[in-house]
């Protein structure tokens, strides 16, 4: 079977109808893919994931794992779908090796093999010296690595990570992405919830964009990029403290997004790009320190889809009068 999860018109309402966290979400997760779930805070990503692992029941619709409703097989789902939550540890008096080893055993592997895999992971994480420390006595980032380890131990066929690289230093982040890619190459299906679109871009095959509880788009990264391909990205660095002035002077070229203290970004049609370059070169008094034209990234796609959907929403609302 090529489909691992079927998310079948799922809606979730919290607080007696006050919060609609998911609204009629419908898509499949394919065997062997890395699927990214992207969306801003509060979009409904974690809610969806919790329903996939049978921690929450949908208000409407159902989720099937290998053809069977997850709520009818929570134990099988727990053994086959390793889930790394944003707050992964509640049992903080466990020692590091215990947390890893016990999770492996719950996932169905023998103690000896669980110990071997735990030691292998700790070595990979460069955390062997923390093996016998209690979770409450290690740092936040180290706890998160143990959490990543509990998702990886036992080699579950499906891995779900909710913001796996939060709070990790760059070296550990790289390691986590490498491990995720390795497991995927060995055949695991990976679902990845992240805000870090730029890092995720290196890893994901398809992306589902979720906002306001709805699925806005789902497609291959390259296909989604084609949506904004006709536009180029201008990255501009203004002279110190002059970004507002620069934005004002270039306002007619399009809508700028402030991306940092002195940084502005503009998405521009290809045919306009050379005119803008000529304009910048011909106006040396503009308070520009640096500028560059770069092709669109997944992050741009993400913002583009959000904007497009907002316009649709506003359009539909005004059509309704």
Ligand X SMILES: Nc1ncnc2c1ncn2[C@@H]1O[C@H](COP(=O)(O)OP(=O)(O)OP(=O)(O)O)[C@@H](O)[C@H]1O
Q: Which of 3, 14, 24, 295 binds ligand X (CB under 6 A)?
A: 14
**Which residues are registered as beta bridge partners of 294?**
233
Residue 44 interacting with ligand X (CB under 6 A): yes
How near is the Cβ of 140 to ligand X at its closest, in Å? 17
How many residues of this chain bind ligand X (CB under 6 A)?
A: 12
Residue 39 interacting with ligand X (CB under 6 A): yes
- Per the CB < 8 A criterion, the answer to whether 160 and 49 are in contact is yes
Residue 52 interacting with ligand X (CB under 6 A): no
Distance set, CA 165 to CA 62, 68, 193, 196 (Å): 30, 31, 10, 8
Q: What is the largest CA-CA distance in the chain?
A: 71
Q: What angle do CA 238, 240, 241 make, to 5 degrees?
A: 95
Residue 231 interacting with ligand X (CB under 6 A): no
DSSP letter string, 221-252: HHHHHHHTTTEEEEEEEESTT-HHHHHHHTGG
- Distance (Å, rounded) from C-alpha 41 to C-alpha 106? 32
How near is the Cβ of 68 to ligand X at its closest, in Å? 24
Q: Which of 11, 29, 47, 159 binds ligand X (CB under 6 A)?
A: 47
Span of 45-53, 140-148, 176-184, 234-242 interacting with ligand X by CB under 6 A:
45-53
Nearer to ligand X, 19 or 257 (CB): 19
Q: Which of 7, 21, 54, 215 binds ligand X (CB under 6 A)?
A: 21
How near is the Cβ of 25 to ligand X at its closest, in Å? 11
- What is the DSSP-derived secondary structure letter of residue 154? T
Write out the residues near ligand X by the rule CB under 6 A: 14-15, 19, 21, 39, 41-47
């Amino acid at each position: 079977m090529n489909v691992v999860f079927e998310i079948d018109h799922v809606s979730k309402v919290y607080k007696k109808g006050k919060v609609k966290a998911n609204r009629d979400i419908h898509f499949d997760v394919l065997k062997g893919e890395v699927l990214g779930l992207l969306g801003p805070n509060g979009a409904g990503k974690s809610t969806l994931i919790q329903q996939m692992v049978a921690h929450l029941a949908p208000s409407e619709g159902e989720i099937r794992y290998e053809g069977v409703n997850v709520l009818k097989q929570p134990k099988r789902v727990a053994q086959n779908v390793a889930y790394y939550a944003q707050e992964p540890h509640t049992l903080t008096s466990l020692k590091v090796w215990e947390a890893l080893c016990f999770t492996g055993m719950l996932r169905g592997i023998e103690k000896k093999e669980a110990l071997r895999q735990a030691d292998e992971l700790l070595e990979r994480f460069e955390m062997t010296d923390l093996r016998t420390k209690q979770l409450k006595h290690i740092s936040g980032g180290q706890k998160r690595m143990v959490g990543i380890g509990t998702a990886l131990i036992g080699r579950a066929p499906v891995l779900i990570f909710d913001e796996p690289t939060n709070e990790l230093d760059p070296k550990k982040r790289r390691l986590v992405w490498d491990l995720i890619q390795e497991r995927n190459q060995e055949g695991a299906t990976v679902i990845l919830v992240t805000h870090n679109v730029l890092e995720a871009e290196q890893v994901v095959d398809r992306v589902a964009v979720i906002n306001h509880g709805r699925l806005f788009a789902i497609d291959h990264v390259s296909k989604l990029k084609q949506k904004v391909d006709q536009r180029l990205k201008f990255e501009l660095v203004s002279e110190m403290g002059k970004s507002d002035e620069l934005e004002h002077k270039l306002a007619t070229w399009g809508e700028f997004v402030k991306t940092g203290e002195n940084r502005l970004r503009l998405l521009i049609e290809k045919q306009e790009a050379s005119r803008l370059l000529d304009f910048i070169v011909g106006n040396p008094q503009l308070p520009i320190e640096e500028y560059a034209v770069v092709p669109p990234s997944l992050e741009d796609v993400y913002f583009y889809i959000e904007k497009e959907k907002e316009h649709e929403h506003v359009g539909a609302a005004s059509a309704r009068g």
